[in-house]
Amino acid sequence: MSRRRGIPRWHGVAEFFIVFLAMAAIAAIILIFTFIAREALPLLWEKTETLERAHLVVPQLWHGYEEPVAVWQPVGKVPKYNILPLFVGTLKVTVLAMLISAPIGLASAVYLSHYASRRVREVVKPVIELLAGIPSVVLGFFGLMLIATWVHATFGFKYRLNGFVAAIALSVTIIPIIFTICEDALTAVPRPLIEGAIALGARTHQVALRVAIPAALPGIAAAMVLGFGRAIGETIVVLMASGNAAVVDLLDWSASVRTITATIAAELGEVPRGDEHWRVLFLLGSLLFLMTFLLNTFATFTVARLSARLRGETR
């Protein structure tokens, strides 16, 4: 940029810094992955006495067991680092949380965009935004204190803290995400489509179910994917409310559950740097990063496609 008279010299410097600082987000993504993988990768070539790489995923016949099992038991005479139970735990909690929050999030978005009066909308929307602002440690505390007591009194599970309690608390964190994106997608549906359906005599539920939701489907799908990604990565809520025993039972939600995130948060503080336990925890972190990265990229593309499609239809 050529310098004109009367333009201070620092303007050029400031412009350079604007572009320089704008690269921070890209740098952050690269640095996050590099520096987490850096602590995990030595697992690939370092020889350790107790850890075979195959043990990370393949069930082993450990001393004292009848048949090969997949266990996560990092502390003990023979540390066992099978990461499968943690993935099963994460999947269990997130799937149940999605089963709760997807219908609630979508239905409330439909209500606000099709049934609610303007005044109701202006009150309810900020309130749900407020729900999104609750710190996860408060929700975890709430799960631990109130939801756990309620679930225990209602269902009488053997353990007070379990996958079901964690899933309810977790669903509160993702309902606002699903709601917000679904609501945006539903209100972005072109007015002529809606008005056309009404002119043909459709009732509101027919407009919502047969016109608005199909048109907004990619956005709704993106909402579910982003909600799922957030649920996988949520740490403090599951750490406080899930009970944290690594049990590999895919269908029993009344049992205690240990997720990937809770394992990292609970164990890393006690492990010396460079230990194989340390490396496995960073490996879990890398896998977590990769999973959410893929889910986010997928969701971003779907939203972009949706807006392109809706623009194409109106023209």
Partner 1 sequence: MLCKAHPRAKSSNLAFHGLTALAVLIILAFLGILLGHVLAHGSGRISVEFLTASPTGGMTAGGIFPAIYGTALLTILMTIAVTPVGVATAIYLSEYASKSSRLAQFVRAAVNNLAGVPSVVFGLFGLGFFILFLGGAMDRAIGAETPIWGRPSILWAALTLSVLTLPVVIVTAEEAMKTVPRELREASHGLGATRFQTVLHVVLPGARAGILTGLILAISRGAGEVAPILFTGAANFLPRLPTDPRDMFMHLGYHVYALATQSPNVDAARPVLFGTVLVLLTLTFALNFVAILIRSRLRAGGNR
Is 111 among the residues that bind partner 1 (CB under 8 A)? yes
Shortest reach from residue 77's CB to partner 1, in Å: 25
Termini Cα distance of the chain: 40
Calculate ∠ Cα 49-53-59, nearest 5°.
105
Among 185, 212, 216, 232, binds partner 1 (CB under 8 A): 232
Q: How many C-alpha atoms does 206 have within 13 Å on its Cβ side?
A: 9
- Residue 263: which H helix or E strand, with range? helix 260-267
Per-residue x/- track, 155-194, partner 1 (CB under 8 A): -----------------x--x---x---------------
Q: Which is nearer to partner 1, 7 or 58 (CB)?
A: 7
Report helix, strand and coil shares of the chain as percent, to nearest 5. 70, 5, 25
Closest contact distance (angstroms) between CB of 58 and partner 1 is 25
CA torsion angle 121 122 124 129 (round to 10): 120
Smallest separation (angstroms) from partner 1 to the CB of 299: 8
Q: How far is the CB of 60 from partner 1 (least distance, A)?
A: 27
By CB under 8 A, tell whether 99 contacts partner 1.
Answer: no
Q: Is 226 one of the binding residues for partner 1 (CB under 8 A)?
A: yes
Contact positions with partner 1 (CB under 8 A) in 189-218: 200-201, 203-206, 208-209
Tell me: does residue 250 bind partner 1 (CB under 8 A): no
By C-beta, is 56 or 128 nearer to partner 1?
A: 128
Sign of CA pseudo-dihedral 161, 84, 233, 299: negative
Residues 291-310 that bind partner 1 (CB under 8 A): 292-293, 295-297, 300
Taking each helix axis as running N to C, give the angle between helix 217-233 and helix 276-314, from 0 to 180 degrees, rounded to the nearest 10. 170
**Positions in 113-152 near partner 1 (CB under 8 A):** 114-116, 124, 126-131, 133-138, 140-142, 144-146
Locus of tokens 């972190």 = 285
Looking at residues 37 to 96 of the shown chain, list those that interact with partner 1 (rule: CB under 8 A): 38-39
Report in angstroms the alpha-carbon separations of 258 from 84, 88, 137, 238: 11, 9, 17, 8
